[in-house]
Structure 1
Amino acid sequence: MPRSIHSTQPPLRFIALRFNPFILKITQWLLPLLLRFRTRPWLPAGIVNIEARNVKVLAELYQQFQAGKIRFLIAFRHPEVEDPLCMLYLLSRIVPKVARQQNIELKNRVHSYFLYDRGMTIWAGDWLGRLFSRIGGVPVRRGRRLDRHAIQTARELFANGKFPISVAPEGGTNGLSGVVSPLEPGVAQMSFWCLEDLQKANRSETVVIVPIAIQYRYTEPPWSKLDWLLSKLELDSGLPIKEIAQGEQQEIYYQRIYRLAEYLIAEMEEFYRRFYHQDIPKSISNEESPSPNQVLTERLHRLMNTALQVAEQYFGLQSQGTFIDRCRRLEEAGWSYIYREDLPDIKALPPFKRGLADWIAEEADLRMRHMRLVESFVAVTATYIQEQPTAERFAEIALLMFDMLSRIKDTTLPGRPRLGWKEAQITVGEPISVSDRWANSQGDRHAVRQALSDLTRDLQVALQKMID
């Protein structure tokens, strides 16, 4: 992850697609190693097995695609950073295998283009952009209203590319296998654009969206590693030591997580009251007498709103939209102060102007940290653990807390601790026809907007059903 930024940076240029079948082949060959040892080769943690359901549907879609009958977009859940590797494994290994078993003839390579966040190259390094460009990746500036290069490239690939295209409609990871974050409207819009382009070219292909869900589970519940992680978080946060020895194992871990969350929220509330002069009430009044979980979640959301407002006030932004919408706008605003497109040659600046530019970049980076804290918790609900008190859900919440503390106490965000070997479960959903919806909405702007909204909603419902 990136260190703190202390100076202005060159603009974030668009990384053009330079697809290379040989580089893709090497990447596919290395997949099992990448899945097991993506971050720390010496740790016994990673993904050791990938299972997939309903793959025949995807194999048949590829057959129709290669026959020129359809164009399709893969909309996949994005809870963890390993998701793209799992998707690559699904397409390169599982789909061809199922196609052979089901006597489904596939003439060409099974692969897809994909959209990725341009910010990934900031924390991972420029090498990642070079790799992605050669295996089918198109970078997107998530906060820009109009990322012309990305839109034009993705639109061209969707309508005319030799592969389908994959998109994570949530726009980013939320760290939770059991919750789908609110979807961004880009998938629906891209599908309508594809139909427009096909119609202009007098082509009759059907356009569909294929929802795909990804979930993870540990091969063995990592209770001992979870105990170590919670002890570390309690120590790092300064939470007074208190033995909790009553109740079942799940109840003990729940009490520890709840106590840690309550302590961290209280500390952050006081931080914003004292140093950012924010008016945060010390209690929540509700006539309906909500449960302690609901009170804690309301405090969390109020704290998230406060953190975003602190950053928005600095950048002169309105507090409008969902938490995710606001995070995206803040990211783009911060990048515009750091990666200066209005400075063609940073090195040619006189020392005075260079100093001012560096000052602004450093302060923008600091203000964006408020937004980064919020990003980790946009999908947390009051009952997430109580609904299913599994080791996986305890670990997911504890790791989100680890991310928060790491962003505050370190100049870099270290790699997450690995708690054990994991398995991935991929579910291919039933295709959603876009052609029928598009045909029924023509001639009326309101009808088009409603059709886009309905398509986004139906995709959200489909993804959530597959993981419930």
Structure 2
Amino acid sequence: MYQAQPPLEFIPPKYNPWFLRLTHLLLPLWMRSQTALTTVEAENAEVLTDLYSQFQAGKIRFMLAFRHPKTDDPVALGYFFSQIMPKVAQKQGIKFKTPIHAHFIYDRGIPLWAGSYIGWVAQNLNATPIQRGKADWTGLRSARHLFVNGAFPMAAAPEGATNGLSEIVNPLEPGIAQMGFWCAEDLQKAGRTEQVLILPVGIKYGYVDEPWDEISNLLTELEVKSGLAASTESNEDLFSYHYFRLLRVSEHLLTIIENFYAKSYRCQLPIISTELTSDKNEALSMRLQAVLNEILKVAESYFDLQPKGNLSDRCRRVEQAGWNCIFREDFKDMKSLSSVEKGLGDRVAEEANIHMWHMRLVESFVAVTGTYIRENPTAERFAETLLILWQMVVRIEGGNTSKRPYLGKQTAKIIIGEPISVSDKYSTYKTNRQSARQAVADLTKDLQISLEKLI
């Protein structure tokens, strides 16, 4: 990422049934040895087995729109498909012609930070990549073709990225709804009668045992790294004591970040006075939103972008602008470039990567509120918030944020919602361009509500 490179190549999906069988066979062992997950449970799975049966009978085409709180989500879903769904189908007396699987749509950037082998794995599992933040016509055509003609249903995360929180859904991107309407359009043009559906799928994580000792140790680590003296506050209520420490270290870190951006980048940060709010949580949330906005402006200013939309939208535009400086169209033929041209290209790539760092800092906090823990004071919510804070500190230190601290064994619960009919809304979509935009917005809103209900 510090050197200019040719444009990212599309990784074409290539279904390998033997590799899929091997993946299904080894997944339980891999999950328990390489992740904190010990069990995966399912709710309302019968809805999905019925949809798969209709899909294989040629009656419907559908996409699973799943929540994406963590990077463990593909593992949990893979376990659900390979271990739970066959048993549920057997109880219902349903026999499937092919393995239970889906054409996953994934971010083309994942193999860049997770390793190129991830691209190979995704390719052989018939997943299809797409570049976020730009009109990736090759990626869109692939996903559109698979939605209409693929051997399996589609699967994608409408949030576009993880947010680290099991019980908050990010604002959804409109791509899922748009692809649903494209599928209905393509089917109608082909004279086919399948109905098009989108199925909301929730994913929630929990701890087998409440990890308060591990939480305390991680709080101590963050206190030390941020230069805070050990807390002398005593409280018999374990939760209240840890919450006090979390607020204390959060306020301290936020002050450090505010001072850094005010001094180094001349950011103008508002003063949150007691006249605006006397609630410490609300004040912290207001300060956080203000500094996130200013941090993004630093990156946007470098790439000459206007701050439009919500934080997630702005992050995607910054990311794509950075990629355009690193993966360059004019570097397709690297051999034809002189060493001077390559060197100058590398300087631009290095600067772009540095400014994308600001965006990564914001990306971790797009869903964080000042009330998430207080609304439902559970160990799970506490741990999720603390891990986001840890990720920020490690990112500032220049460490590896993918190697997260182990807080304890976890469980995952897959919750299947009720399918949303795209076909029923297609007549409105095809009326005119304005109606199409409104239909996409309305369908995205319906999906947002459905996913929020599942948590």
Tell me the TM-score normalized by structure 1. 0.95
Quick one: distance in 2 between partners of 1:440 and 1:323?
A: 30
> 3-state SS of the aligned residue for 1:212?
strand
Q: 2:42 aligns with which of 52, 58, 62?
A: 52
- Do residues 295 (structure 1) and 291 (structure 2) align? no
Q: 1:241 aligns with which of 230, 245, 250?
A: 230
Partner in structure 2 of residue 453 of structure 1:
441
> Could you tell which deviates more after superposition, 221-230 or 233-242?
233-242
Partner in structure 1 of residue 83 of structure 2:
93
Q: 1:125 aligns with which of 110, 115, 123?
A: 115
- Which amino acid counterpart does residue 403 of structure 2 have in structure 1? G
Q: 1:15 aligns with which of 11, 18, 23?
A: 11
- Do residues 253 (structure 1) and 242 (structure 2) align? yes
Q: 1:112 aligns with which of 102, 106, 110?
A: 102
Q: Deviations over 1:65-90 (max 9, x none)?
A: 00000000000000001111111111
* Post-superposition offset of 1:121: 0.4
- Counterparts in 2 of 1:110 and 1:245: CA distance versus 1, 3 Å: same
- Which amino acid counterpart does residue 93 of structure 2 have in structure 1? N
Partner in structure 1 of residue 403 of structure 2:
415
- Which amino acid counterpart does residue 174 of structure 1 have in structure 2? N
Q: 2:317 aligns with which of 329, 333, 340?
A: 329
Partner in structure 1 of residue 303 of structure 2:
315
Quick one: distance in 1 between partners of 2:94 and 2:404?
A: 41
- Which amino acid counterpart does residue 160 of structure 2 have in structure 1? G
Query: Where do 1:138-287 residues align within 5 Å?
Result: 138-144=128-134, 146-281=135-270, 283-285=271-273, 287=275
> 3-state SS of the aligned residue for 1:71?
strand
8 Å Cα contact 1:35/1:82 also seen in 2: no
- Counterparts in 2 of 1:383 and 1:411: CA distance versus 1, 3 Å: closer
8 Å Cα contact 1:230/1:257 also seen in 2: yes
Q: 1:65 aligns with which of 28, 35, 55?
A: 55
> Could you tell which deviates more after superposition, 152-161 or 242-251?
242-251
- Which amino acid counterpart does residue 85 of structure 1 have in structure 2? V
Quick one: distance in 2 between partners of 1:66 and 1:104?
A: 11
8 Å Cα contact 2:206/2:410 also seen in 1: yes
> 3-state SS of the aligned residue for 1:342?
helix
Give me the identity figure in percent.
Answer: 49
Quick one: distance in 2 between partners of 1:317 and 1:243?
A: 46
Aligned length: 455
- Do residues 384 (structure 1) and 380 (structure 2) align? no
> Could you tell which deviates more after superposition, 367-376 or 347-356?
347-356
Q: Deviations over 1:8-30 (max 9, x none)?
A: 23321110111100111111111
> 3-state SS of the aligned residue for 1:51?
strand
Partner in structure 2 of residue 136 of structure 1:
126
Query: Where do 1:77-88 residues align within 5 Å?
Result: 77-88=67-78
Quick one: distance in 1 between partners of 2:236 and 2:169?
A: 31
* Post-superposition offset of 1:446: 2.1
* Post-superposition offset of 1:107: 2.6
Q: Structure 1 regions of 5+ residues with no counterpart?
A: 40-45
- Counterparts in 2 of 1:160 and 1:290: CA distance versus 1, 3 Å: farther
Q: Deviations over 1:357-404 (max 9, x none)?
A: 111111111101100000001001121000111111111111101111
8 Å Cα contact 2:429/2:440 also seen in 1: no
* Post-superposition offset of 1:91: 1.6
Quick one: distance in 1 between partners of 2:381 and 2:286?
A: 20
8 Å Cα contact 2:65/2:158 also seen in 1: yes
> 3-state SS of the aligned residue for 1:215?
strand
Quick one: distance in 2 between partners of 1:393 and 1:84?
A: 21
Partner in structure 1 of residue 27 of structure 2:
31
Quick one: distance in 1 between partners of 2:97 and 2:339?
A: 60
8 Å Cα contact 1:406/1:414 also seen in 2: no
* Post-superposition offset of 1:222: 0.7
* Post-superposition offset of 1:285: 4.1
- Counterparts in 2 of 1:290 and 1:207: CA distance versus 1, 3 Å: farther
* Post-superposition offset of 1:445: 2.3
8 Å Cα contact 2:212/2:379 also seen in 1: yes
* Post-superposition offset of 1:183: 0.4
Quick one: distance in 2 between partners of 1:351 and 1:219?
A: 56
Q: Deviations over 1:283-319 (max 9, x none)?
A: 2147553521111101001100011000000000010
* Post-superposition offset of 1:411: 4.9
8 Å Cα contact 1:314/1:367 also seen in 2: yes
- Counterparts in 2 of 1:183 and 1:414: CA distance versus 1, 3 Å: closer
Which 4+ runs in 1 deviate beyond 6 A?
none
* Post-superposition offset of 1:346: 3.0
Tell me the TM-score normalized by structure 2. 0.97
* Post-superposition offset of 1:344: 2.0
- Which amino acid counterpart does residue 419 of structure 1 have in structure 2? L
Q: 2:423 aligns with which of 422, 432, 435?
A: 435
- Which amino acid counterpart does residue 384 of structure 1 have in structure 2? Y
